[in-house]
Structures are given as C-alpha cells and as structure tokens.
Amino acid sequence: MQMRQFSIVLMLGSLPAWSTAWAGQTCDKSFPMSAPVERFTDNGDGTLYDIEPDLTWMRCSLGQVWTGKTCTGTPVAYTWQSAQDAADKLNREGGYANRHDWRVPKIAELASIAERQCFNPRINLTLFPATPPVYFWTITMRPGSFPDDPNAYAISFGTEGPKHISKEEKLDVRLVSGGVPKKNDYLGNGGS
C-alpha cells in the first residue's frame, strides 16, 4: 500500500515563539479523518458546533483572537486552576459568542477534536487554525483522586498524546461550551 502525504506550511509575517518548533503540518490521507470539517458547523462568531457530541468549541486558544478567518496572537498558558478561573471570569464578564457556559473540556471531549490523520499539530487546521503542537489542559484527573490529586490530564496536539501533568504547569487552553460536566467527569472516566 502506498502512503500519500501532504504538508501544509504556514507562512506568517510575525511568528510566535512556538512556531519555531514546527515547520508545518503533515497529514497521511490513507487514513480516514477523525475530525472532518463536515462534522462541524461554523457559527460565524469564532466558534464551531460539533454535531456528534453536541458541543460548541472556541476556534482559538485562550489568548488568541478570531479575525473571521484565522486565529492571531499568542496563546496564554495557564495552570490547571487558573485555566478554570479564566473560563469562569470570561462567563461572568459577558461570555463569548453569546454563550456564558464556557469551561475547560473533559479529556474525552478534547481528544474528540484531535485529528489522527495529521501531526505537528494533531488537529484539523481548517477548523482550529494556528493551534500550536503543545499540551492543552483538561479537567480530568485520575479516578479516586478528586480533589486532592496534584496532577491532571492534558492532551498534546504535537506527537505526545495524553499525559498526567502537575496542575502547577502552565499549558494552553481551548474552551468548550455545552455538555455540563458532573463531579465524576473530573475523574479519569472519560466523561462520556
């Protein structure tokens, strides 16, 4: 079987610091897409509605700005708790795109937007442009550890995948709306 690959190389005038770690995305089209464009509805306001899990995603990482075509600026890195605090503050101060229920996603939710056909970053850049290939926080912790576990799960959109990381580390964040989590969703049950 012959593998067909293509690369998307981003050419930007002012590149953020993380851009030096990758020259472009590589996708292997011999595999079916795990997060195809057809699964999402563009709400026209910097958000996407994901039909399968009934969730709305911010197209940009926190700290970036949606221009109507892409995400600009540099993502802001947060500790696990400060990521949740940033979501709460956003909701209290008027929300985003007429929604006031933004939150840090569960591990299964964040994994659902990873594009297994591509890497560097492992995400559909048509849907989520300018996503760096780094770790992003989830609210999920190991079963039986809530609330005292000093670690929580994060997912990398680089090559690493999921990892149990100290909550004091500063990582990027992409917020989701809908599918309100229950207490058990903080645990490693995937929250489905």
| Per-residue pLDDT tens digits for 81-129 | 999 999 999 999 999 999 999 999 999 999 999 998 888 899 999 999 9
Q: How confident is the model at residue 142 (pLDDT cuts 50, 70, 90)?
A: confident
Residue recorded with tokens 């297994």? 116
Q: In the numeric block, which tokens belong to residue 106?
A: 């569960």
Q: Could you tell me which residues come within 8 angstroms of residue 14 by beta carbon, excluding any fewer than 6 positions away?
A: none
Q: How confident is the model at residue 179 (pLDDT cuts 50, 70, 90)?
A: low
Q: Does residue 87 contact residue 95 with C-beta atoms inside 8 Å?
A: no
Cis-peptide into 162, omega within 30 deg: no
| Per-residue pLDDT tens digits for 24-71 | 888 888 888 889 999 999 999 999 999 888 999 999 999 999 999 999
C-alpha distance from residue 31 to each of 14, 69, 116, 166, 171 (Å): 33, 27, 8, 34, 29
